Amino acid sequence: MQFWKFEAEGNSYIVVENINPGSVDIPGICSKRTGIGSDGLLVAQWLGDNTVHMRVFNADGSEAPMCGNGARCVAAFAYVNKPHLRDEDIVIKAQGATVTHRLSDTDGMGFNAVIQFERDPLISKHESKPRYQYVVGSPHLVILTDLAFVDLISDGPREEMTYDGGTNVMFASVIERGIIRVLPWERGVGIVEGCATGSAAAAMAVALEHADWPMDSDVLTPQGCVRVHWNANERMLSMSGSVSLVAEGSYFANSAR
C-alpha cells in the first residue's frame, strides 16, 4: 500500500488513495510501535483535477466527518502529486464540510483554507459557564479556562462524553487580544498536538465572550499555530497553517486483524 505521511501544525496523518478501509488494520498502521505512527489515516479519492474526496479515520479506527489539519494534508498530497495546482484552488470534500485550499507560501506548503457555513456552527452555550458546543465539520466542545488547572488525561475523556456520540474538546485560554492558547483532546485519538477546526471553534467562542475581539486570531496549539479568520455575520471561516511531507513509501503489513 503506497502512503504519504504529512505533518500539519502538530498533527501527523497518513494519506492513502482509494483503499477499502475495512481491509486494513488502521490502529496498527497508526501505531508508533507497530506501524508508521500518526493521529489518523486519510483516504483520498480524486473527483476531478483539483478536487479530492477525503475520509477521515482516527487512530483507533473510528471514522470522523472532518479534520482541518487533515484536509490541509490532503491538499498538500494533491499539490505534491499535481504541481500544476500551485496557482489553483484545491477543493477537499469530506462528510462534514467542503474546504477550499489555496497555496499561500510558494517557498513551502502553507495553505489558506476556507469554509462557508450554511448555518451557525454554534450548537449550544452553557447558561452560566464559558462552555460552547460547535460543529465545525466535526463536533468541538470549547471550554474557556485556566490551562494550568487542566489535566488532559482525566478531563479530556470525561468532557468528550458530554456530547451525544462524543466530541473533540478544546480547553482554551486568552493570552492577549487576538492570541489564544489551546490544549486539544480528540475523540478516537486522545491527547494531540494540534487541531485546526478545534482552534477555529476556540476563536469563535472567545469572540462571543469578548465583544471587541478581532476577526483574526492566532491560536497556539502545543506544536503549532493556526491563524483563524472568522466572519460571524457572513459565516465565513478561513484557517491558515503549514504542512510538510514527512515520508512516502510502501506499507506491507496491511491486512485487517
Strands, DSSP E only, in the chain?
Answer: 2-8, 11-17, 40-48, 51-58, 63-64, 90-93, 98-105, 110-116, 122-125, 131-136, 138-144, 168-176, 179-186, 190-191, 216-221, 224-231, 236-242, 244-250
Let me know: does 56 contact 67? Beta carbons within 8 Å.
yes
219-240 pLDDT, tens digit each: 999 999 999 999 999 999 999 9
The reported pLDDT for the residue numbered 106 is 65
Q: Report, as an integer, the average pLDDT of 129-133.
A: 97
82 vs 111, 140, 188, CA distance in Å? 15, 33, 32
Kindly report, residue by residue over 175-224, the tens digit of the pLDDT.
999 999 999 999 999 999 999 999 999 999 999 999 999 999 999 999 99
pLDDT tens track for 49-79: 999 999 999 999 999 999 999 999 999 999 9
Hey, what CATH class is 2-116+242-250 in?
A: alpha beta
Q: What's the pLDDT at 170?
A: 98
Q: What is the 3-state secondary structure (H, E, C) of 84-112?
A: HHHHCCEEEECCCCEEEEEEEECCCCEEE
Provide the pLDDT confidence category of residue 88 given band limits of 50, 70 and 90: very high
Q: Are 206 and 215 in contact (CB under 8 A)?
A: no
122-232: CATH architecture: Roll (3.10)
pTM score over 0.95: no
Question: Is it true that 2-116+242-250 and 122-232 share their CATH fold?
Answer: yes
Domain residue limits, the chain: 2-116+242-250, 122-232
* Cβ neighbours of 49 (radius 10 Å): 11
